[in-house]
C-alpha cells in the first residue's frame, strides 16, 4: 500500500497523495480504506486543521477504480467482493462529502469514476489546465456512482443526462459550470499553494489565485436540454433526427453504451433532482451496483472494454426494449443488504 498512497502530516494539514501514476492513480480497495482510516484519525486530532488530497503524475489525479479484481471475482461467481468494495467505497464518499474539517482537492489530468468520488466531494475542488472529468460508467455496464449521480442531477438543465449517458469529458471550466469543481488555478501554482496551506494559510488564498476558465459545453446547453429530455428511446430518436457534429457524436456514444445502465441512470437523475443528501444518492447507486455483476452488464462491459478490448459488448437489452420493470428491479430496495452509514463519522 505504501507504494500506492502516501498519507502523512505536514504542518497543520493532513496530506493524502495518490502515488501510482503509471496506473493513472487507479483507486484500489486498500487505497480507499487507507484514506478512510486517515480521515477517521484526523477527525479528533486538533492539530489537523484541514485535509489536502492530490496525486503524483501529470496524466491523472485518479482515472477510476481498480476493477481488475472486481472482474476476476465476479467471473468466478463471487459477487460478495464487489459488494463489499462498493459498500465501503461509498461510505468513504459520504465521509468526504460530510467531513467537518475543510478538505481541498487538487485534480489534474483524468478524473473519472472513483476519482470523482474522492476528489469532487471535497469542500474546495481545484482544477487546472490539464483537467478532464468524466463519469464513464455506462460504457462498462454500470451507472454513474461514487456520489456522481447526485452531481449529475444538480447540473444545469439536462446536462447531467448528457454527461451520464455519453461519458463526455469536461474541461476545467466545464467541470466548474457543472458543479464538479470550484476553482481554476494554474497548475504551476499548486505546489506553492499546498505549502502555504500546510504552513497555516487560510483556504481563501485559493480564491485569490483563481482564474476564469472556458466552459465550451455551455454553448450546447439549449441543444442538450432538447435532445436529452424524455426516455432513453426518445433521446435516441431525437439524436438520430438531429443534425450537426455534436448530436452525431452523442448518438454514437449512446448507441455504444449499456442500454440498461443508461435507462437506470435517467431514472436515478430524475429521483435525485431535488435531493441534497449524498447518502440518498449513494444508497440508490448501491442498489444497482450490488446487482450489477449478476443481473446487469458490468462483467460484459469490462470484458469488452478492458479485458479483451474488442469494444464489442453484447448487452442484455437494446435501447428500444429496456422496460420500466427492468429499471425498477435494479433500483428496488435491498432489504437487510441496503447500504447504511452508521459509522460514517465515527
Domain count, the chain: 1
Higher pLDDT, 111 or 344: 111
Q: Is the pLDDT assigned to residue 344 strictly greater than 70? A: no
Q: What does the alpha-carbon distance between residue 28 and residue 184 come to, in Å, rounded to a whole number?
A: 28
The CATH number of the domain holding residue 59 is: 3.90.226.10
Mean pLDDT of 228-252: 98
pLDDT value of position 2: 62
The pLDDT assigned to 1 comes to 47
In a domain, 182, yes or no: yes
Q: What pTM was estimated for this model as a whole?
A: 0.96
278 in a structural domain: yes
What pLDDT score does 66 carry?
82
Integer-rounded Cα radius of gyration of the chain:
19
Asked if the model's pLDDT at residue 114 lies above 70, the reply is yes
Q: Output the nine-digit C-alpha cell for 227.
A: 435532445
Read off the pLDDT band of 171 (50, 70, 90). very high
- 156 domain-assigned: yes
d(CA 285, CA 254): 20
| CA pair distance 83, 63, nearest whole angstrom | 21
The answer as to whether 66 is a domain residue is yes
Q: Which of 74, 57, 35 is nearest to 301 (CA)?
A: 74
- Average pLDDT of the residues in 201-229: 96
φ, ψ at 5 (rounded to 5°): -155, 140
Question: What average pLDDT does the segment 293-311 reach?
Answer: 93
**Residue 250, in any domain of the structure:** yes
Is the pLDDT assigned to residue 345 strictly greater than 60?
A: no
Would 344 be classed as within a structural domain? no
Q: Report pLDDT digits (tens) over 58-92.
A: 999 999 988 888 889 999 999 999 999 999 999 99
**Residue whose cell numbers read 448507441:** 255
| Residues facing residue 183 across a β-bridge | 126
Give the domain extent around 155: 5-337
Hey, which residues does 111 pair with through a beta bridge? 62, 133
What are 144-160's pLDDT values in tens digits? 999 999 999 999 999 99
How far, in Å, are 121, 138, 288, 294 from residue 302 at the CA level?
Answer: 26, 11, 16, 13
Percentage of the chain surpassing pLDDT 90?
94
Amino acid at each position: 500500500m505504501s507504494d500506492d498512497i502516501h498519507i502523512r502530516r505536514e504542518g497543520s494539514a493532513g496530506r493524502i497523495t495518490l502515488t501510482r501514476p503509471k496506473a493513472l492513480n487507479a483507486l484500489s480497495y486498500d487505497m480507499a480504506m487507507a484514506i478512510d482510516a486517515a480521515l477517521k484519525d484526523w477527525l479528533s486530532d486538533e492539530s489537523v486543521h484541514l485535509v489536502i488530497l492530490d496525486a503524483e503524475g501529470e496524466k491523472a489525479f485518479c482515472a477510476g477504480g481498480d476493477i481488475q479484481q472486481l472482474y476476476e471475482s465476479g467471473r468466478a461467481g463471487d459477487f460478495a467482493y464487489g459488494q463489499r468494495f462498493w459498500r465501503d467505497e461509498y461510505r468513504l464518499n459520504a465521509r468526504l462529502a460530510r467531513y467537518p474539517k475543510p478538505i481541498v482537492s487538487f485534480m489534474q489530468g483524468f478524473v473519472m469514476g472513483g476519482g470523482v468520488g474522492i476528489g469532487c466531494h471535497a469542500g474546495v475542488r481545484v482544477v487546472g489546465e490539464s483537467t478532464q472529468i468524466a463519469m464513464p460508467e455506462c460504457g462498462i455496464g454500470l451507472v454513474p456512482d461514487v456520489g456522481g449521480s447526485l452531481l449529475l442531477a444538480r447540473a444545469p438543465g439536462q446536462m447531467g443526462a448528457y454527461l451520464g449517458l455519453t461519458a463526455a469529458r469536461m474541461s476545467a471550466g466545464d467541470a466548474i459550470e457543472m458543479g464538479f469543481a470550484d476553482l481554476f488555478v494554474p497548475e504551476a501554482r499548486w505546489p506553492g499553494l499546498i505549502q502555504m496551506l500546510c504552513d497555516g494559510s487560510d483556504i481563501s488564498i485559493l480564491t485569490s489565485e483563481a482564474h476564469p476558465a472556458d466552459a465550451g459545453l455551455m454553448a450546447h446547453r439549449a441543444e442538450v436540454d432538447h435532445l436529452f429530455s424524455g426516455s432513453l428511446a426518445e433521446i435516441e430518436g431525437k439524436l438520430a433526427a438531429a443534425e450537426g457534429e455534436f448530436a452525431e457524436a452523442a448518438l454514437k456514444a449512446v448507441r455504444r453504451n449499456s442500454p440498461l445502465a443508461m435507462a437506470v441512470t435517467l431514472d436515478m437523475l430524475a429521483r435525485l433532482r431535488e435531493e441534497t443528501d449524498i447518502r440518498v444518492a449513494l444508497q440508490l447507486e448501491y442498489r444497482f451496483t450490488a446487482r450489477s455483476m449478476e443481473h446487469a452488464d458490468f462483467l460484459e462491459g469490462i470484458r469488452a472494454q478492458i479485458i479483451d478490448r474488442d469494444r464489442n459488448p453484447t448487452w442484455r437489452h437494446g435501447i428500444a426494449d429496456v422496460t420500466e420493470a427492468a429499471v425498477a428491479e435494479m433500483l428496488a430496495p435491498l432489504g437487510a443488504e441496503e447500504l447504511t452509514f452508521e459509522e460514517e463519522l465515527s
